[in-house]
Amino acid sequence: MPHSVDAPKLEIEFEQFNGSYTGNAELKGSWKLGEKQGEFDIEEPLAEDGYPALVTALSQGLTSLLADIQQQAN
């Protein structure tokens, strides 16, 4: 599919993408979008014990990360 504009590529590198014994989902790493770049260290609390709650918290962390990248990139 041809593109009329070359959009910058978003690169995200995770050092951590996991749950912890403290009851949080942890997302840590760096990102690059064109000439802009940054680091992130996000902790999202799990609503309850269990894998489904971890998946939900990691998803919320990703949503927060993408919102932060969008804000910093503009």
Where exactly are the structural domains of the chain? 10-69
**What pLDDT is stored for residue 45 in this prediction?**
97
pLDDT digits (tens, 9 = 90+) for 3-55: 557 888 999 999 999 999 999 999 999 999 999 999 999 999 999 999 999 99
Predicted confidence band of residue 74 (pLDDT cuts 50, 70, 90): confident
* Greatest extent of the chain over all pairs of C-alpha atoms, in Å: 48
CA–CA distance from 7 to each of 10, 20, 50, 66 (Å)?
9, 36, 39, 16
Amino acid at residue number 35: E
Query: If you search the block for the tokens 């919320």, which residue do you land on?
Result: 60
